[in-house]
Copies of this chain bind each other. A is one copy, B any other.
Amino acid sequence: MGERAQQIVDAALEILESDGREAMSMRGIAERVGIRAPSLYKHFPDKAAVEVALMTVGFEAAADVLEAAEAQDPTVVSIALAHRRFALDRPHLYRLTTNQPLPREALPEGLEARAAGPITRVVGGDPDLARAAWAFAHGMIMLELDGRFPPGADLDGAWRAGCDAFAAQVAGRARASGRGRPEV
């Protein structure tokens, strides 16, 4: 990626994170870089391509956060809460990264797997359980970001209930397969 292209992505990211996706117009990005909107098209084919670059940023940031949580405390709760904290910290970036089809061939290879790694490992490698746990966390986050929970709802409690449900499944399978603690 050329230097100008990097400046463009940086400018787009700043606007996105401070003012949201709707505020991120080609004219606004260009102004922040110090050029005019049509010149952006010398560096990116269209706005979607800029957004794909931002998705890469979002994916990498998420992977960093989840890997750090796993290293510090490899439990379902720990990783789930890291996920939540990341999304609440950078809601616009989380939305952009998340709420659209994955352009897999335009993303750096292995990035998706890297971000998914901590979740998959913490549920013991079962892909079904991993996807279900991922969906739970993503659903909680989107409902919270979208302001869909009733005012005053105990979201910490809901996160706890969901994490308990998945942690119990993980423990159950470990017990059944002979590894893990025999009782609790």
A residues near B (Cβ < 8 Å) are: 98-102, 112, 126-129, 131-140, 142-143, 146-150, 153-155, 157-162, 164-166, 168-169, 172
Q: Which 7 A-B pairs have the closest CB atoms?
A: A139-B139, A132-B162, A135-B139, A131-B158, A128-B161, A101-B147, A128-B157
Binding site of A, secondary structure by majority: helix, strand, loop or mixed? helix
Known: A136-B135, A139-B136. Contact between A161 and B102, CB under 8 A? no
- What residues on B are CB-neighbors of A99 within 8 Å? 99, 142, 146
> Of B98, B129, B153, B168, which contacts A131 at CB under 8 A?
B153
- What residues on B are CB-neighbors of A133 within 8 Å? 162
**Shortest distance in angstroms between A60's beta carbon and chain B's nearest beta carbon?**
17
B160 touches A164 (CB 8 A): no
Complex alpha-carbon distance, A121 and B124, angstroms: 31
New contact pairs (14) apart from A99-B146, A132-B136, A132-B158, CB-CB < 8 Å? A99-B142, A102-B148, A127-B157, A128-B154, A128-B160, A131-B143, A131-B149, A132-B162, A134-B143, A135-B143, A138-B142, A139-B142, A161-B169, A165-B168
**Shortest distance in angstroms between A129's beta carbon and chain B's nearest beta carbon?**
5
- What residues on B are CB-neighbors of A157 within 8 Å? 127-128
18 residue pairs from A and B, CB less than 8 Å apart: A98-B146, A102-B147, A112-B150, A127-B153, A131-B149, A131-B155, A132-B158, A132-B161, A132-B165, A134-B143, A135-B136, A135-B140, A135-B162, A136-B139, A137-B139, A142-B142, A164-B169, A168-B168
